A and B are shown apart, each in its own frame.
Chain A
């Protein structure tokens, strides 16, 4: 048997691996609760294992049997970083199942919200990454730039985190864009673009930072594809795959799919920096070409529907939602978040690194363990 394919426990038994460093579920070095086991030999990581499951709340189980509108707003509480993506995708499932036409103005507003969310999620990633690097000044700078986006989200949605813009058939009337808001959006985009460019210049011209992040936590393209990684983590290894290219709602917009070649921390950080600038581009186009008309289509009827699936591109990768409808209630809900495959990428990125680089290698894949805890254990009562 190939040594690589053996289970880690067996390797420990056979003394292939000398020492185990185990952290978690709650540890000062980790922001969210998860468990990491590092198997080291001479301070070099030979194998890594990440276990989640501490945050399991059983959202799908709670969704089961709820009216579909209520279930949609519950999906928003799965993740506080990409809340809009969840509620958008969940509404899209219902729209697909019931053949509801969404007005074009509503689609544009949804895309504006989604891109704002992508920006603030990537900025959070950069801020967190800089903090793990030990560069608090850049991290604070990033939090400062992020505040511009948060203010825009608060202005449109009324809340800083869960803005809940999409509803079935359109967007909430609260999120209508009037002249004042459009003006503020335009100004915000100018600020973000200017400050992000400055930040990127400062970042790549710093030899200390660049030497710290180049060649650390490398994930090869082959491994990334094998593990089924998605999103910026995959694009940082050179694969040109962005689900936004396949989504019809993104057809009117022009944007580039950002790729980098190396798959290390540097590539991951740079992919996110450039994606923020791409998002600025999309929002500018959406604001300039915002169609007139209604923002909600309320003329639809509830019917029973079989299981319907929907995939979208969210800040961390590909998000999947599916459920069936019965008497206006949700049945057989399944949610799959991008981080579940990116956990594999984190484990692979750790291998071969020094122990001190382990945290950086994990953080570079943009972990979000809150939304990853999906597993449900089914206990058979008849046994």
Chain B
């Protein structure tokens, strides 16, 4: 194991980006990492707000029109290797905002996230539960850790 991958395995930095959902998912993710009850930090998973430090990008929300560009830029700013986790019904399929009219999707919503950046793991739920987020991040980790 190289020094780089050794150190990467011991400090996984998660960045949360928020693209216009209802705040429910975001707070559950912050809760899941900071709150002592779930405490992802004990598994060496940390929350960061800086894309250049991040390894895992967690995206919530249906990607509104004005958020599309920043999301792409943020994805590009993260150094390789990187994984993307889409969390919540909004990020997975546009949620209520996109699909409520059936065949005529709302024009304000550019999502789901898959249309804009590649997604490695998906976490369902509205809002996602902290346990599910942990398992989603864990499911995405092999790609990150096995990278050369």
Interface residues, chain A, with chain B CB atoms under 8 Å away: 25-26, 28-29, 31-33, 53-59, 61-62, 66, 70, 74, 77-81, 83, 124, 127, 131, 139-141, 143-144, 146-147, 150, 159-162, 368, 370-371
Known: A58-B106, A74-B96. 15 other contacts (CB 8 A): A26-B18, A26-B67, A26-B74, A31-B30, A57-B62, A58-B108, A62-B96, A74-B100, A80-B26, A81-B24, A83-B22, A127-B34, A140-B35, A162-B24, A162-B126
Interface set, chain B 96-122, CB cutoff 8 A to A: 96-97, 100-101, 106, 108-109
Given contacts A62-B97, A74-B96, A124-B27, contact A370 B22 (CB under 8 A): yes
- How many angstroms from the CA of A162 to the CA of B100 in the assembled complex? 17
Contact of B66 among A25, A66, A150 (CB under 8 A): A25
CB-CB nearest in chain B for A159: B127
Q: Are B24 and A83 in contact (CB under 8 A)?
A: yes
In the complex, what residues of A have CB within 8 A of residue B27's CB? 80-81, 124, 161
CB distance from B21 to the nearest CB of A (A): 7
B70 adjacent to A57 (CB under 8 Å): no
Which residues of chain B are within 8 angstroms of A150 by Cβ–Cβ distance?
Answer: 31
Residue contact A80 to B37, C-beta cutoff 8 Å = no
Partner of B35, one of A28, A147, A371: A147
B7 at the interface (CB under 8 A from A): no
CB–CB A31/B26 < 8 A: yes
With CB as the reference atom, state the residue of chain A lying closest to B70.
Answer: A26
Question: Does B67 contact A54, Cβ atoms closer than 8 Å?
Answer: yes
Residue ID in chain A nearest B30 by CB atoms = A31
A66 contacts B100, C-beta separation under 8 Å: yes
A57 touches B28 (CB 8 A): no
**CB proximity to A under 8 Å, residues B60-96:** 61-62, 64-67, 70, 74, 95-96
Task: Assess whether A55 is in contact with B20, with CB atoms less than 8 Å apart.
Answer: yes
- Give the chain B neighbours of A147 by CB distance below 8 A: 35, 37
Residues of the A chain whose Cβ atoms lie less than 8 Å from the Cβ of B74: 26
Q: Beyond A80-B21, A370-B22, is A57–B34 a contact (Cβ under 8 Å)?
A: no
CB pair A77–B95 under 8 Å, yes or no, is yes
Residues of chain A lying within 8 A (CB to CB) of residue B129: 160
CB neighbours (8 Å) of A368 from chain B are: 23
CA distance A53 to B65 in the complex (A): 10
A140 proximity list for chain B (CB < 8 A): 34-36
Are A57 and B108 within 8 A (Cβ)?
yes
Residue among A78, A80, A159, A162 having the largest count of chain B Cβ atoms under 10 Å: A80
Partner of B22, one of A26, A28, A79, A139: A79
Instruction: For B100, list chain A residues within 8 Å (CB).
Output: 62, 66, 70, 74
As a 0/1 sequence over residues 50 to 64 of chain B, the CB contacts with chain A under 8 angstroms (1 = contact) are 100000000001101
